[in-house]
């Protein structure tokens, strides 16, 4: 009895004095992000047929689970509309997503915690700073420069692509071409909407954009006034009048060295290939009926060895091509397309080119075998909502997806993935004060309500000081992750500029702002008060004051005053 009482007392009393550090249960946090077990029918039946209840089979199944980083997921709900494109910098520290809500959302994995999963900045790259009624456009494609992470290529639904830095600030904007010129070789830029673009695989200052004006344009980011090269594709399909829309482009380079490859798809169903280093006067290979005519081929990618090209067409097919025999596809597989509704739907090789990943209209992630294009894994990500864009990051070993329901999912495996979402879930949740919960506190960021009765004196000053300090310490209370108010009745407050913070009186302006009295002064009177002084003491003609000739005007007779001076007789 005594031992049991001592154990109870020992468990009740603290082990040490002072402030105790609170530690988070990391394993429990990671388990909360574990996805539901995939359906057995979703995996390749041939790979699962030999599984049994033995210990060897259990180890094999666990190896299969670790093969693809899809066991856990982190969900980002920072957009309001469909997520059309995502990109992650080469180091894997920053995730940027683009959407049809015309914004870019910037996320830092290092600054997020399990309770603060949000974007630290929202950028509208298409908004005009000079126009009050600025127009915004959806984002078609974004991509970090793999050789220079400080630059990012942004393709909005406009004829002009932009180069942004990693903080979302515009560095340069490429020029728009003259739409009244018929010859596209003479225009300095695209004349219609750009569909997509990509970076050069080995030169960090070059990128290529594909437009609906039937051209591919290679740009040097240091020269925004004109493209470096223009590739005009002339369609040979009847009824196209030599023009078509370029829907996708990929620029690949073999890892072991060799010639670069530039491959593009067109709306007329053609697949065209050029040598990646030029010349671009004529394509090195062309396939006219690669996909069905007038279907949008939005997905195209090149393998790491530069030999295979995979395309996802709007004709509900995925095709695999060999660049060494670029005539007929190696493999063809049926796959439902979403490009008719979301043209930026893509397809991508895994970092090792051992797999091919893409999304589907049902919201599933498909991991395919590149040799047969048969699914090795089909797992639901956003069931019922189309999965638009996918990205498999090499350094993180994580798969990032964007869906039509405005969600961005980061799929990872805690055993094989590093940093990224695994880093977020390995942190302790942010400790919040009770004042951080807007449902339990009064929002004083907008001051005190006019309906309240406030006695003059110290209480008013004290409350104003408290409201100001609270607003300074909690600038985002009552706001969503995108910066909007949670209360729909609260009107939008315009941004407060430094010149609108105070309204100085007239006396302050006259004493502290030089020449401020000139606003109320007649300029004619201000000049005439110096007329007499200028006549007596000229500043610039003082040297000729004594010898200055007097101006003599001709006398006008009475007849000339009435009729005017004599005019020269016209020649007959």
CATH number for the domain including 216? Answer: 2.130.10.10
Tell whether 258 is covered by a domain: yes
pLDDT at 480 (0 to 100): 64
396 and 461 in one domain?
no
Range of lowest pLDDT (61-65, 384-388, 486-490) = 61-65
356 and 328 in one domain?
yes
410 and 320 in one domain?
yes
pLDDT at 136 (0 to 100): 82
Tell whether 249 is covered by a domain: yes
Tell whether 485 is covered by a domain: no
154 and 93 in one domain?
yes
What are the tens digits of pLDDT across the range 60-73? 444 555 689 999 99
Range of lowest pLDDT (49-53, 177-181, 413-417) = 49-53
Tell whether 356 is covered by a domain: yes
Confidence bin at 58 (pLDDT 50/70/90) = very low
Element of type H or E holding 153: strand 151-156
321 and 213 in one domain?
yes
Cβ atoms 51, 59 nearer than 8 A? no
Tell whether 524 is covered by a domain: no
Q: What distance in Å separates the CA atoms of residue 387 and residue 341, rounded to the nearest whole number? A: 12
pLDDT at 236 (0 to 100): 83
pLDDT at 52 (0 to 100): 38
396 and 288 in one domain?
yes
Q: Which residue, of 417, 446, 475, is where some domain finishes?
A: 475
Q: What distance in Å separates the CA atoms of residue 276 and residue 377, rounded to the nearest whole number? A: 33
| Mean of all residue pLDDT scores within the chain | 80
pTM over 0.85: no
Total residue count of the chain as it appears in this document: 572
Residue 335: how many other CB atoms lie within 10 Å: 23
Tell whether 4 is covered by a domain: no
Cβ atoms 404, 386 nearer than 8 A? yes
What are the tens digits of pLDDT across the range 27-38? 888 888 898 755
Expressed as residue numbers, the domain containing 149 is 66-425
- The yes-or-no verdict on residue 541 having pLDDT over 70 is yes
459 and 358 in one domain?
no
Average of per-residue pLDDT across 107-119? 91
Q: Which residue, of 396, 425, 454, is where some domain finishes?
A: 425
463 and 345 in one domain?
no
**Residue for token pair 């095709």:** 319
Q: Which two tokens stand for residue 252?
A: 């690949």
What are the tens digits of pLDDT across the range 206-244? 999 999 999 999 999 998 989 999 999 998 876 667 889
Average of per-residue pLDDT across 245-268? 90
Higher pLDDT, 334 or 462: 334
pLDDT at 367 (0 to 100): 96
Average of per-residue pLDDT across 394-414? 95
Confidence bin at 121 (pLDDT 50/70/90) = very high
403 and 341 in one domain?
yes
Number of structural domains (the chain) is: 2
Tell whether 513 is covered by a domain: no
376 and 447 in one domain?
no
Q: Which residue, of 475, 508, 536, is where some domain finishes?
A: 475
96 and 188 in one domain?
yes
Give me Rg for the CA atoms of the chain: 35
Closest CA to 204 of 289, 253, 145: 145
Task: Using CA atoms of 286, 289, 294, 295 in order, give the dihedral in degrees to the nearest 10.
Answer: -100
Task: Kindly write down the DSSP assignment for every residue of 448-494, as one continuous string.
Answer: --TTS---TTHHHHHHHHHHHHHHHH-TTTTB-TTS-BS-TTSPPPP
- The yes-or-no verdict on residue 175 having pLDDT over 60 is yes
438 and 400 in one domain?
no
Tell whether 44 is covered by a domain: no
Average of per-residue pLDDT across 432-454? 52
């Amino acid at each position: 009895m005594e031992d049991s009482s001592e154990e109870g007392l020992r468990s009740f009393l603290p082990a040490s004095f002072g402030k105790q550090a609170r530690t988070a249960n990391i394993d429990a946090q990671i388990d909360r992000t574990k996805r539901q077990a995939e359906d057995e029918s979703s995996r390749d039946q041939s790979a699962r047929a030999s599984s049994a209840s033995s210990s060897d089979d259990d180890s094999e199944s666990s190896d299969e689970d670790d093969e693809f980083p899809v066991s856990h997921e982190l969900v980002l709900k920072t957009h309001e509309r469909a997520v059309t494109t995502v990109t992650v910098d080469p180091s894997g520290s920053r995730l940027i997503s683009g959407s049809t809500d015309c914004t870019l959302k910037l996320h830092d994995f290092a600054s997020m915690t399990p309770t603060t999963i949000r974007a630290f900045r929202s950028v509208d790259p298409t908004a005009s700073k000079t126009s009050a009624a600025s127009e915004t456009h959806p984002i078609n494609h974004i991509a970090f420069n793999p050789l220079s992470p400080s630059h990012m290529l942004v393709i909005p639904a406009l004829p002009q692509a932009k180069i942004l830095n990693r903080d979302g600030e515009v560095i340069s904007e490429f020029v728009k071409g003259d739409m009244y010129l018929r010859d596209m070789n003479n225009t300095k830029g695209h004349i219609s909407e750009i569909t997509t673009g990509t970076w050069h695989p080995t030169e960090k200052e070059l990128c290529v954009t594909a437009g609906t004006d039937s051209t591919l344009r290679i740009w040097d980011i240091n020269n925004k006034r004109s493209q470096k090269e223009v590739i005009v594709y002339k369609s040979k399909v009847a009824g196209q009048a030599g023009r078509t829309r370029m829907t996708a482009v990929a620029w690949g380079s073999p890892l072991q060295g060799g010639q670069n490859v530039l491959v593009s798809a067109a709306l007329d169903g053609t697949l065209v290939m050029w040598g990646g280093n030029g010349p671009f006067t004529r394509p090195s290979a062309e396939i006219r009926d690669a996909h069905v005519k007038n279907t949008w081929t939005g997905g195209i990618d090149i393998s790491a060895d530069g030999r295979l090209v995979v395309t996802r067409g709007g004709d509900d097919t995925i095709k695999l091509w060999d660049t060494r025999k670029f005539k007929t596809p190696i493999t063809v597989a049926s796959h439902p397309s979403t490009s008719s509704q979301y043209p930026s739907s893509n397809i991508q090789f895994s970092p090792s080119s051992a797999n091919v990943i893409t999304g589907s209209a049902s919201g599933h992630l498909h991991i395919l075998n590149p040799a047969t294009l048969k699914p090795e894994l089909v797992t639901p990500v956003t069931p019922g909502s189309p999965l638009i864009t996918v990205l498999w990051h090499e350094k993180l070993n994580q798969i990032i997806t964007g869906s039509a329901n405005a969600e961005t999912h980061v799929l990872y495996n805690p055993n094989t993935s590093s940093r990224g979402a695994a880093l977020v879930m390995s942190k302790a949740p942010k400790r919040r004060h009770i004042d951080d919960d807007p449902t339990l506190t009064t929002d004083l960021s907008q001051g005190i309500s006019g309906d309240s009765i406030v006695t003059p004196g110290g209480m008013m000053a004290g409350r104003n000081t408290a409201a100001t300090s609270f607003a300074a310490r909690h600038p985002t209370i009552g706001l969503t992750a995108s910066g909007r108010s949670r209360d729909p009745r609260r009107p939008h407050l315009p941004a407060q500029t430094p010149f609108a913070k105070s309204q100085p009186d007239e006396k302050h302006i006259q004493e502290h702002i030089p020449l401020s009295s000139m606003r109320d002064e007649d300029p004619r009177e201000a000049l005439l008060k110096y007329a007499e002084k200028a006549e007596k003491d000229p500043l610039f003609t003082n040297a000729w004051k004594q010898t200055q000739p007097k101006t003599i005007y001709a006398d006008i007779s009475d007849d000339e005053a009435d009729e005017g001076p004599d005019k020269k007789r016209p020649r007959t």
